[in-house]
Amino acid sequence: MKKILIVEDDVNLGKALASIFEIKKMDVHYCDGCEDVLYTFYQFNPDIVLMDVMLPGDQNGLKIAEKIRKSKNQVPIIFITSLESGQAMKKAFSFENTDYINKPFRMQEVLVRMDNLLSKQYRFNLTDNVYSIGGTSFYPEEQLLRRGACRIHLNKYQTKVLLELCNNQNVYLSRNEIIREVWDVDNCKIKESSLNNVLSSLRKYFVDDPRVQIISVMKLGVKLCVDYIPD
């Protein structure tokens, strides 16, 4: 199920869009722009964003997109606006993996542009699964972490554990659940030390990024937390 974040200060339009996408079996999060959009973005971790350019207060869809791209996140973004501004359009298309729609628009146009961007995103990533973890990109199929020019190659168990945590971000997974999934054993106790070693290694890879924590709590399990930290 694809996840779409709708950022639109026109509540009637925003809720109408959300309803349509829910009917089409998408996981939808709608915000009117009054809250911290970047915080919402990193918590929800959408597959695509429908972003109004003009938002309440000091927020601006183009500036928000700029911060998202600076974090190396290439999530597709469709800007929507009632402004007839060539400068705004030029700025919107200066970002990779974006599109631009003027209000009023037809819903079919939005859906076509979404499909096009999601298709381009697949080709851009060259893999089905690329995860943004703070300032790091995680490529499970290549067993690779990439942060700028730095590349870290993972072993298969580090990759599998991190993939489980990414797929359940901000949710505790029991240690036994992780062990069964990664090592395919029934007696989980024999792999507890192996899991501890993997978690220790993964924490070291993210030690310089304050947005990322791998938390382990007795009786609750392990979870990956990725938080947005304002400038």
Q: Give the per-residue pLDDT at 55.
A: 86
Q: Which of 9-18, 29-38, 97-106 has the highest mean pLDDT?
A: 9-18
Q: Residue 20 burial by CB count (10 A; 0-12/13-18/19+): exposed, middle or buried?
A: middle
User: 224: number of CA atoms within 13 Å, CB side?
Assistant: 22
pLDDT tens for residues 96-152? 778 888 888 888 888 888 887 877 654 444 444 688 888 888 888 888 898 776 789
Q: How far from 188 is each of 43, 84, 125, 203, 224, CA to CA, in Å?
A: 31, 61, 35, 22, 21
Fold assignment, 131-226: Arc Repressor Mutant, subunit A (1.10.10)
Q: What pTM did the predictor assign?
A: 0.54
- Domain spans of the chain? 3-125, 131-226
Quote the tokens at residue 194: 């192996």
**What rounded mean pLDDT belongs to the chain?**
85
Q: CA 121, CA 14: separation in Å to the nearest integer?
A: 24
| Residue-wise pLDDT tens digits, 52-86 | 988 887 778 888 998 888 876 888 999 988 766 56
Q: Which residue has better confidence, 183 or 228? A: 183
The CATH architecture assigned to 3-125 reads: 3-Layer(aba) Sandwich (3.40)
Q: Element (H or E) spanning 14, and its range?
A: helix 11-23
Please, are residues 51 and 63 in contact by the beta-carbon 8 Å criterion? no
Confidence of residue 201 (pLDDT cuts 50, 70, 90): very high
CA angle 120, 121, 123 (to 5 degrees): 65
